[in-house]
């Protein structure tokens, strides 16, 4: 989604879903250039051989998201400005009740953390969603589990 409103629920993962070992994951690394006190963030991300700059604004279930694809050179110029505010993970796509869920298995200092996100077309659809048994506690409104705060502060409680 290049720009618009992102409607997303996020959960911890209690256990890996059935069939997980047969899934192919996509390595992702991302870093934060700017995070403001009013919940705006500017990040850069590498997803395989593609590079993106993303602006997100807001907290919780529904946020504004604007994503622009970058060249490799543009990304390379911006990446050093994210030092100390980075994370890496492998993303797996899992079908859950007619929705595509993105399960993230974090690496590095976030190793051991598993989160799953499900995006929706509307707030109403998000409210109707019933998480499967392998999902854990919902952390949609717990900002400690936002990617930006994980990149800055690590896993909550550690």
Residues serving a catalytic function are 32
Any idea what the Cα angle at residue 32 is, between residues 5 and 40, rounded to 5°? 40
β pairing state of 114-120 and 3-13: antiparallel
Q: Alpha-carbon distance 99 to 107, whole Å? A: 25
Q: Cβ distance 89 to 105 under 8 Å?
A: yes
Tell me the C-alpha distance between 47 and 30, whole Å. Answer: 9
Residue 141: exposure state from Cβ atoms within 10 A (0-12, 13-18, ≥19): exposed
Residue 48 CA to residue 9 CA, distance in Å, equals 25
């Amino acid at each position: 989604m290049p720009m618009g409103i992102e409607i997303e629920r996020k959960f911890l993962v209690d256990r890996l879903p059935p069939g997980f070992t047969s899934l192919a994951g996509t390595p992702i690394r991302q870093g934060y250039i700017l995070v403001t006190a009013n919940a705006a963030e500017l990040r850069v991300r590498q997803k395989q051989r593609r590079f993106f700059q993303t602006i997100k604004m807001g907290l919780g279930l529904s946020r504004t998201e604007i994503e622009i694809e970058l060249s490799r050179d543009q990304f390379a110029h911006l990446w050093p400005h994210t030092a100390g505010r980075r994370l890496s993970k492998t993303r797996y796509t899992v079908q859950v009740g007619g929705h595509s869920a993105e399960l993230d298995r974090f690496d590095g200092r976030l190793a051991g953390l598993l989160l799953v996100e499900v995006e929706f077309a509307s707030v109403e659809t998000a409210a109707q969603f019933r998480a499967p048994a392998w999902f854990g506690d919902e952390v949609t409104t717990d900002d400690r589990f936002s990617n930006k705060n994980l990149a800055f502060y690590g896993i909550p409680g550690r």
